[in-house]
A = this chain, B = another copy of it.
Amino acid sequence: MAAPAPTTQQEMRRRNLARVLHAVADGGPLSRAAVATRIGLTRTAVSTLVDELLGAGLLVELGPGRSGTPGRPGTALALSDRGPCGIGAEIGVDHLAVCAVDLRGEVRARIAVDAVNRDSAPGPVLRRLASLVREVAEEVRGAGLHPAGLAVAVPGLIARGTTTVVQAPNLGWTDLDLAPHLRGDVLGTAGAAVCAVDNEANLGALAELWLGDHTPSPEDFVHVSAEIGIGAAIVVGGELLRGTRGFAGELGHVPVRPEGRPCACGGVGCLEQYAGEEAVLRAAGLDPRAMAAGHPGPGARMDLLAGRAEAGDRAVRRALDEAGTALGTALTGTVNLLDPQTVVLGGALARLAPWLLPSLERELDRRIAGPPPVVVSRLGPDGPLLGAAHSVVRAVLDDPLAQRA
């Protein structure tokens, strides 16, 4: 079927409400007239939609001001900073984090704690996360906001369209549905609240799409990140490419030395064996287990590597140079298959970019005529957490009526 919905008045109204909200989100504050111009509807039609959104507490009037178009001043409309907000959570291998983001995109509360989640029993980890979520929800409720939903970033494979972790190797979790642990009373809201679970690399890429400061914002990119493993996410036309099962973006298991080192995944010569955190530590002459014990916490080993590289440590620099080459080989295949506009290095990899990029770009140049630029994300390691919270906010903007159900 090439001709999708909407086809009813009800659906058309729902879409137009979303268009008004997005217009204000992208260009606000705006007058009713400016909104009408932006979305190509009559001012009368827009006024009806705006009244409904004001009534629902999603928009507020800032009082008379200059409209975005020539003519008489109109009342400026803005997204509410007291309406619904999104709660994002992140389960890292060695940390937990929760934040709340309002409709305007402002972070209104944030908690992060160190934790030992590697090979953990899920129950205690999820109970601790739920308690952090409750804490953040209470804090924002005090500021007049109400949580519209929760999205959780997990370093693992999530079955598409579900809340089930199929496999999170570093947590040691398999076939685990997180929803029963995190739904309902955790947010202190009605059962209708969104509860979503997604791969951390996916949410990091969405954060880059929604919050990245590259101009023009690329609609087609490959986002490469790393915590312990190497993850990637593919954005095409402004949408995540999820794959049939939800497992797309497994760049870490692209073969780069087809007859090389065996990988924990069962394969041979996977990128992770040449550019993953453990591989880089080992190549630099460091013991991954000792390093993990001595330098716990999110990004701690990557920070250590960056510090040593900065100080001129030759073994570390050589190890990062080799990792960059391996990344370049894997990305050559990726670029040939997907023809992206840019490649973005995000998460902990962004921190290491100064020592990865030269060999990575050399490898791309050697193999591809006119490769796309490789850019470094400025979101840092908070990408997945912010992406999670913003995904809830986007769900509200995309379907404002659902909030009132």
On A, residues with C-beta under 8 Å from B are 1-4, 6-7, 12, 15-16, 18-19, 22, 26, 39-41, 220, 232, 234, 236, 241-251, 253-258, 265-268, 329-330, 332-334, 336-341, 366-369, 372, 394, 397-398
Contacts and interface: CB of A to CB of B under 8 A. Distances in A.
B337 A337 contact: yes
Contact of A332 (B243, B267, B340): B267
Name the residue in A253, A333, A397 with the highest tally of chain B Cβ atoms < 10 Å from its Cβ.
A333
Contact of A232 (B26, B337, B341): B337
7 contacts: A3-B22, A4-B15, A6-B6, A236-B236, A246-B339, A266-B367, A266-B369
Contacts of A336: 250-251, 253-254
Contacts of A244: 220, 339-341, 372
A22 B6 contact: no
A255 B3 CA distance: 39
A41 B15 CA distance: 19
Nearest to A263: B367
A6 B12 CA distance: 8
Given A2-B22, A329-B258, A332-B255, A268 B234 contact: no
Given A247-B339, A337-B251, A339-B244, A19 B40 contact: no
Nearest to A367: B267
Given A1-B22, A255-B333, 20 more contacts: A2-B398, A3-B16, A3-B22, A6-B12, A7-B12, A220-B244, A244-B341, A247-B339, A248-B337, A248-B338, A250-B336, A254-B333, A255-B256, A255-B329, A266-B367, A267-B366, A267-B367, A267-B368, A337-B337, A337-B338
A12 to B, nearest CB: 6
A322 to B, nearest CB: 13
A2 B391 CA distance: 12
A249 B336 CA distance: 6
B220 A255 contact: no
A254 B340 CA distance: 15
A258 to B, nearest CB: 5
Contacts of A255: 256, 329, 332-333, 367
A243 B265 CA distance: 29
Given A7-B15, A41-B7, A367 B248 contact: no
A186 to B, nearest CB: 26
Contacts of A19: 1, 3, 7
A276 to B, nearest CB: 14
A2 B394 contact: yes
A265 B366 CA distance: 10
Most B CB within 10 A of own CB, among A16, A329, A372: A329
A4 B22 CA distance: 11
Contacts of A333: 254-255, 330, 333-334, 337
A16 B7 contact: yes
A340 B3 CA distance: 24
B243 A339 contact: yes
Nearest to A256: B258
A255 B243 CA distance: 22
A332 to B, nearest CB: 6
